[in-house]
Structure formats: C-alpha cells, structure tokens
Structure 1
Amino acid sequence: MEKGLSILAIFILLISCNNDYYEPAPLDNPQLSLNIPLNFPELNNSVKTNVPTKYGVELGEKLFHDKRLSADNTVSCSSCHIQGNAFADNNAQAIGIQNRVGLRNVPAIQNMKFMKFYNWDGNVLQLEDQPLVPIITHEEMGSSILEVIGKIKDDVMYKDLFKKVFGDETVTAERIYKSIAQYEYTLISANSKYDRIKRNEGDVFTENEKQGYLTFQQKCVSCHSTELFTDQSFRNIGFPLNTNTNEAGRGRVTGLPEDYMSFRVPSLRNVEYTAPYGSFGQFPTLRAVLDYFDKGVLKSNNLDPVFKNNGNRIPLTEQEKTHLILFMKTLSDREFVKK
C-alpha cells in the first residue's frame, strides 16, 4: 500500500513539475493548405514552426485590423497596410497616431512566407518578431504590448479565438505575434497576367509588354530576379538621401560602412499600386524612378556596381521606359488587391 502511495506521489510530483511547460492542446483547428506558386523561393524557416491554421489566421486578421493596438485607438496595422495598395499605402512616409510621420515608406505585405528579411534594412529575420516594432514605435502606434494585452484580454470574441487556437483564453505577447504572422503568411500574390502567361493559361503579352520584358531582362533582372522579382539583397542604388540622422539603411543593422544607405531590393509585384517609391517615397511615379536612373544617380563609395560600372546610370530610351512600365503592370494581381 505504501509503495503504491509512493508511486502515486511521484506521479503527481512529475505532473506538477511539468505544469510550468504545459501548453494546452488547441481545439479542432486544422492547418490551412496554401498553394505554393510555381518556382517561388523556399519558405522562411519560421513558417515551418508557425504554420497558418484556420483560427490562427482568423485571429491574426482580427488583430491586424484592430485599432486598439495603438495608444489612442486610432491606428491599426491595416491603417497603413491597405489591401488596395498591395498592403502598402500612398504616403511618402508612414503616418502613425496623431499624424506622426515615420522614418520610411510603408513596405508592401505580400509573399512574406518566402522572404529572408523584413523591413527596408532587414533588421527582422522572422515575421513573428515584426508586430512588436510598430506597436512600440513612437511614430507609429506609440503603445506597448502590455497595454495591448490589457485592452483585449477580456474581449469575448478574442477569448473565444485564443481558446480555439491555443487551447485556452490566455492572451500573451507571443500568441499575438504568432497569429498576426499566420495571417500575413496567407497574403500570397501570384495571379497576375505575368503569372497566367507563365502557366500557359491563355493570356499573352502585347507587343509593347513583350518589348518591356526584354528590356527588363537586359537591364533590371540582376536585382529584381526570382519569381518574387527581388533577389532580396541590400544595395545602395544612389537614390536621393534621407537626411534624417536616424537613417543609415542596412548600416543601421550591421554597423558596416559598406552597408550605409543600402536598402532591401523591393519586389516589383503589384508595384503599380504602391507609389510613391523609394525608402522614404522619393519618387511619385515609376516614370520618375526610370528618369532618375537614366539621368544618373548619386555617387557614393558603396554604389552598386550595376550603376558604378556604367557611369552611375542605367541608360534608357523614352520608348524603353514606356515599355518597362507596361511590363511591370503585368505583375499586378487584381484579385490580390481586390481591384
């Protein structure tokens, strides 16, 4: 009898010890089957440990649109990341609470699960680490994660969703970040005219679009490669400088002089909808970007060789510029932006 009681006591002790690490099993919350577009790059490793689920995505989308994430309840993620603009906006620089102006242009949110780096300077490597940044940044939401948790933890709808996703109603910072990332992982854009042509679904380039594609392959593809239309590298391409003393591009992250004012090459998918262009919206139109490349960019010690080895410019005729823009518009996914 005493031996049996001892075994039972040990069993209870083991259970109590393990409670510190206990994560309740979620309810019926199936993983979502997301089609991976043909020839897209490999998934970011973090996707494999935070696979989008039915209710995880629903929770993430609700959080993405909730203005209570900001200090004064006026700004949500979706306030800056607008679907009709490929989840970017049309401001030169981000506008946060009380009309505070941010350091940089709002990047588009699309095909995030295939990216190696996030933000213009690549300071985030896992999407789950990103949501905290706008929440605590003074110029964006100006809040704190503890303040956000306090606002939503007694919300009946949130309690239900957290239980469906994680097995109980507890609202934690990690769970918020994971859910928002799950939603953003579902924002895949791969149904443009270009994609349909690649899939032999009946669409064809016009003659001018075809000429633009040829020019693109000759003069643009070294940076805007892969099916994401970015090689995800960091480059100084001689754009007009943001003189804000906080700005150093990739150099803010690495501390290396050779990375000064280098920025992540943006994807050209849905570029038609994401004006203005540049790290702080230096250019109002695609034509203005191409004109700048043609006339000559700013010189610098770390200017990208694409420019430095060619007289600090990419020479383009007026016809080539017109055709290039027509080709870039074939990368517009109207289903993705709901247009």
Structure 2
Amino acid sequence: MKNSIRNMCVLLVLASCSNDDYQPISYDNPEITLNIPEGFPDLNITATTNAPTTYGVVLGKKLFHDKRLSADNTIACASCHIQANAFTDNLSKAIGIEGRVGLRNTPPIQNMAFMQFYNWDGNKLVLENQPLVPIITHEEMDSSILEVIGKIENDQEYIELFNKAFGDEAVTNDRIFNSIAQFEYTLISANSKYDKVIREEGVTFTKSEAQGYQIFKDKCISCHSTELFTDQSFRNIGFPINTDSEEGGRSRVTREVDDYLRFRVPSLRNIEYTAPYGSFGQFNTLKDLLDYLDNGVVDAENLDPILKDNGNKISLTEEEKTHLISFMKTLSDTEFIGQ
C-alpha cells in the first residue's frame, strides 16, 4: 500500500512538471536608450519598432560571433566584420567558407540605426532582413536559417538568452534576425577627433587637418554630407569596373539601366581603418583613391554630374591630397574600434 501511494505521488509530481500550465521564469529586459549624437539624422523606423533591449543585444552579439551560422562552422558575422577594422576585414573582397571569394568589399556596420539602405546596392531597406543574406549566400556562409536553428535550439546558453530576450525559449528566425539587428543598432560611432572639435571639447584641428576640412567642404561634401558623412544616395563615380559578370551595382535591385554601376555612397567615418576602398577594394590606400579621382575616372552615360561637369575628375593638388587625408583621419573613433 505504501509503495502504491509513493508511486502515485511520483506520477503526480511528474505530471505537474509537464503540464501545459508551466511558465518559464520571466526576466526584466529593459530597452537600451541609444545615445543619439547631436546633428545625426533621425533613427530609422525599425530601430524604433525593434528597439534594442538589454538581453536582445546580448543575444545578438553572441549570434554575431557564432560560427555555427555557417554551413561548416568556420565563418561568423564577426569573421568579416572585425571591430578593430571598424567592422570590416581589410580584404578587397569578402572571403566565405572554404575560401570562397565574394562579389564585393565588406562594408563597415557603424551607425546602422540611422541608415535607410543596406549593402552596396541598397538591396535591403530593413536591417532585420539583412542577416539572412550572408547566411544563405554560397560565397559567404552557404547555410540556411533552419540549419542554424537546428544547431542552436538545444544549446542551454541560447535557450536561456532567448527566454530572457523574448519571454520564452522559442528559437525562431525572426528572433535571430531581430536580436542581431538590435546589437548592430548599438554600434554608434560619434566620438572621433572631428566630433570633439565640433562639440568644442577643448580639442582643435592641426593646420593640415583644418585645411583638409575646408577642402572637404569645397570638393567632397556634396556626396559625403550629414554627420554620417554620406547622403545615402547611389552614384556612379567612374571607379574601375568589377570584372565579375554578376556585378551591376544598384541596377541589380531596380533593374533600371540608369542605375548600372551605381553604388551607395559610403560613410567616411573610420575610413582610416577600412582599406582597401571601393566596392571591390579597387584602391589600397586613400592616396591611391584621391590620385585616381584627380587623374580622371571611367566615363559612363550615367556618370555622376559632379564628375561629368568637371572633366570626369575631381582636381586635387598633392598638397590638397595630404591635407584631405589628414582631415579624414580625424574621423577615426578609437573608442568605437576598441582601442
């Protein structure tokens, strides 16, 4: 009789542990207040609707560094987006699993919360939709989101983090993408020497930097405008052409002939750390890039008017190039790159 009662109690305990009323522990997961620098554009809409939270960012950062997102567990987002290089890789073209070479240069991922387009051709308008691209691309991670979920859904660390970030333990594609985006929204760079000068924090430009700033305002600011140092437009500025037949620039997205070889104007912030330059790393140094613009660019029907109206070039003396490079280096944010 005693054994029967004991067995019945064990069954009741087991049943109570597995019934549908079980609720996981809930955690406080406050939103993170983004420190929006003065003069920056408004946050994009998804940085507001998918606002970073304490655990969402922790989860996103862990996923960002997890090589299990790739088919052979060798490539993470952080493999190409290296913080010390302002989240680029210093390669002409990105390298994926098995040494596969991608189509384009790895872009930096700073100040994404203020951007309206992502990738060189702007094929993504929402940052939450971007992480799937490298996951499924043959030359990058060559995996699938279902494969990624299968690898991590039984990982106890992830189970706990998904619960903390989203209120239960379900590992879903949307939660993966949302948390990675939340982490990337926190990557704000606005503490360079330039920023400290503008904020009048007792820092001043050197003579060369000040002259470079004036040259920049005279010859560069039409494209590299706003405190992001990009107007986020798409332009053909006559750079050497990628020999890869898959390349079409913005026209790959719009299917418009006039968008052929137009690319999103890159930000100049942290440009000191992001060599080589151009959509497929055409230029090894800033001097190489400025020399090219000075000597004359590749002509095209849709060449940007700024160049077309000036003999297909941006004329610069050697002294101006030196000063301009000095100024561009004031956009380096050592805190952002972890130094």
Using the size of structure 1 for normalisation, the TM-score is: 0.92
How far apart are 1:317 and its partner, in Å? 0.1
Identify the residue that residue 134 of structure 2 maps to in structure 1: 134
How many residues are paired up? Answer: 316
User: Which position in structure 1 is the counterpart of 2:151?
Assistant: 151
What is the CA-CA distance between 1:27 and the residue it aligns to?
2.7
The answer for the alignment partner of 1:259 in structure 2 is 259
Question: What are the superposed Cα offsets for residues 27-46 of structure 1, whole Å, 9 maximum, x if unpaired?
Answer: 31000111100000111111
Distance in structure 2 (CA, Å) of the matches to 1:334 and 1:26:
38
Using the aligned pairs only, state the percent identity: 69
| Alpha-carbon distance, 1:237 to partner | 0.1
Q: What is the SS of the residue equivalent to 2:326? A: helix
Counterpart residue number, 2:21: none
What is the SS of the residue equivalent to 2:43?
Answer: coil
Closer, same or farther in 2 for the Cα pair 1:106/1:26, shift >3 Å?
A: farther
1:43-63 residue CA offsets vs partner (Å, 9 max, x unmatched): 111111100000000000000
Q: Determine whether 1:323 maps to 2:329.
A: no
Q: Secondary structure at the match of 2:242?
A: coil
Segments of structure 2 that go 5 or more residues without pairing to the other structure are 1-23
Q: Does 1:247 align with 2:247?
A: yes
Matched, 1:185 2:185: yes
Q: Is the 8 A contact 1:25 1:166 kept in 2?
A: no
Q: What one-letter code is carried by the residue in structure 2 that aligns with 1:53? A: T
Q: Given the alignment of the two structures, is residue 110 of structure 1 paired with residue 110 of structure 2, yes or no?
A: yes
Matched letter for residue 90 of structure 2: N
| 1:92 and 2:123 matched | no
CA–CA distance in 2 between the matches of 1:235 and 1:122?
12
Contact 1:192–1:333 under 8 Å retained in 2? yes
**Matched residue of 2:324: which SS?**
helix
Moved beyond 2 Å, runs of 4+: 24-27
Q: CA deviation at 1:26?
A: 5.9
| Structure 2 residue 55 is the aligned partner of structure 1 residue 55 | yes
Counterpart residue number, 2:74: 74
Cα 1:212–1:25 change in 2 (3 A) is farther
For residue 3 of structure 2, what is the aligned residue in structure 1?
A: none
Aligned to 2:336, what secondary structure does the other structure show?
A: helix
Partner of 1:276: 276
- 5+ residue gaps, structure 1, are 1-23
Could you say which residue in structure 1 is the equivalent of 2:64?
Answer: 64
The one-letter code matched in structure 2 to 1:322 is T
SS of residue paired to 1:335: coil
Per the alignment, in what secondary structure is the counterpart of residue 331 of structure 2?
coil
Report the AA paired with residue 146 of structure 1. L
Query: What is aligned with 1:297?
Result: 297
Change (3 A) 1:238 1:26: farther
* Separation of aligned partners in 2, 1:127 and 1:25: 30
Q: 1:195 to 1:25 in 2, by over 3 A?
A: farther
Which amino acid counterpart does residue 286 of structure 1 have in structure 2? L
Which residue does 1:201 correspond to in 2? 201
**Aligned amino acid, residue 63 of structure 1:** L
Any conservation in 2 of the 1:110–1:188 contact (CA below 8 Å)? yes
Name the counterpart of 1:313: 313
1:338 Cα shift? 1.4
| TM superposition shift of 1:243 | 1.8
- Separation in structure 2 between the aligned mates of residue 248 and residue 26 of structure 1, nearest angstrom: 49
Q: Deviations over 1:240-265 (max 9, x none)?
A: 00021111000000011110000000
Residues 250 and 261 in structure 1, CA contact (< 8 A), matched pair in contact too: yes
The one-letter code matched in structure 1 to 2:271 is V
* Mapped partners of 1:206, 1:67: distance in 2: 43
C-alpha distance in structure 2 between counterparts of 1:199 and 1:323, whole Å: 22
Structure 2 CA distance, aligned partners of 1:204 and 1:116?
32
Match of 1:12 in 2: none
CA deviations 1:178-209 (Å, max 9, x no partner) are 00000000000000000001111011000000
Q: CA deviation at 1:25?
A: 10
Give the TM-score taking structure 2 as reference length.
0.92
Superimposed CA distance per residue, residues 235-293 of structure 1 (whole angstroms, 9 cap, x where no aligned partner): 00000000211110000000111100000000000000000000000000000000000
Cα distance, 1:101 vs structure 2: 0.2
CA contact (8 A) 1:293 1:314 kept: yes
Letter in 2 for 1:233: S
Find the aligned partners of 1:34 and 1:235 in 2 and give their Cα distance. Answer: 31
Give the distance between the partners of 2:89 and 2:333, measured in 1 at CA.
16
Q: Which amino acid aligns with 2:62?
A: K
1:33 is aligned to 2:47:
no
Closer, same or farther in 2 for the Cα pair 1:126/1:87, shift >3 Å? Answer: same
> 2:26 & 2:203 partners in 1: Cα distance?
44
The whole-number CA distance in structure 2 between the counterparts of 1:46 and 1:30 is 17
